[in-house]
Structure 1
């Protein structure tokens, strides 16, 4: 669906060069929800906005559905942007238009639609986002979650192939965030729509994304399926983000117990998460296993567990016993 090659962007600020994007190479599959995560200033907004050329890169290639978009003329760029919807952090609704009017607006701009077709599409979208009863209300009368639902409906008005979400939940409270994320997940499943979202929150990526790329100082430092990146982070920037969003980092454990104690990080996925594996291995090895730290949750639809255990015994035997049960094992320094 989307292929980025050697994408770079530099700004001039206060007499110096700021490298927003550094040689970005990325593939985003069609029909997936793809997350781009990074801290403030990492370059994620510049990367997202390059996908509809709101930010034009200095160099590199952007291909969407096989089309090189960096060479489009003005007419081609307008046509492209009708195929790409965008949801903004602070909603960007027109205050003088009601809910239906905001959703209607991009269809009026695009032209070529009868009034009947426009109203049918508006009704369809308001039903999709659960705002049929609010169609006559104005943005000032809506909650934050309702405003974002209007923004999503408006972004879908022209039946785009791609939906870009610019920190779409960061202005919302946790409960409202969950409802908006569920809506995006439903839209992806029902419409087969490719969604690219940027966020600084690992919980957002964990909830709905299929794949994720981590951006740090303008460069992609890690990418892959969410479960792989979240459970086995390789780059220090990824480990920092995961630690902030998952559980207390390992150093807080300190040096506990006898020097013979081994620390093992166990990662469970899918059905293994709910099996009595700890008890079975402890019984098999005839050795006590202490659970020192851990978390159990879901990565999109996949249950997972990650535990740090203390084990007094043969670490090689323990590793083999756990791996035989489909558990990923890492030995840590106590």
Structure 2
């Protein structure tokens, strides 16, 4: 009855975190949880990260779960490490049969750096709730208490539909509009006080795909018209980009416009799970680019020095802490995944 009691208590608590993370000892325990009314998803399965607003039961062994929570996902591609780390350290209630030194260390990091709505229950005792960190609505420093936003959590939702990729090409304006639309839906379910910044990041996350190097790689061997900026190609092909990272160039461009909060540029920069720690010197330019929704960015040339980006990222980590930034990154990446 150990797992049944915990699932029942979590399911009956509308204020409980969205993810019930169950540290299991073996496959038989997963099957028992999967047979409950809520079902269960293995943390090693692909795709659960795309539904951050959904209430779900996640299962995994100690190694599977703690390695992901500590940013080194066992058996996971490195690009997914930060996304899973954000979702397992925020809006999550962990359940384990016995105390674990690794969890104690992780909980100490939560207390030191701030984490949103995370707790742990060991041996069936009461959840050791960590205080919710006060979040900044914007980089201006206005606060928003998480408890105020989460007073009435949304009901459980079904698996969210993905925009079908299909075959052919997806334009940059269409993909950007889709991503912003999905992001708006996620923010409606998880109102964290960062909605404007997340919507801007969703709209601009692939801005640098308009770069000629990306367009040439994407359109290689394709008969698609060259007077359109494209974002996706189906079926996927291996892009020969020779060290060009659109998220790096896009994050620098967003920052250098001077029109967006630093956190928007940061989220654009990290939305493929890279460039959390530092960036090289980036001097480049982007052509005039339609991004959908009536937005057309004029051509821009820019220069980002490593020291400048280091100062930006240090301010963000000092203000929000790593776990909140990882969580916001996970929300943006979920919107990108579901936008086709």
TM-score range, shorter chain: under 0.3
The answer to which structure has the higher strand fraction is: 1
The answer to which structure has the higher helix fraction is: 2
TM-score normalised over the length of structure 1: 0.27
Structure having the higher Rg:
1
TM-score normalised over the length of structure 2: 0.26
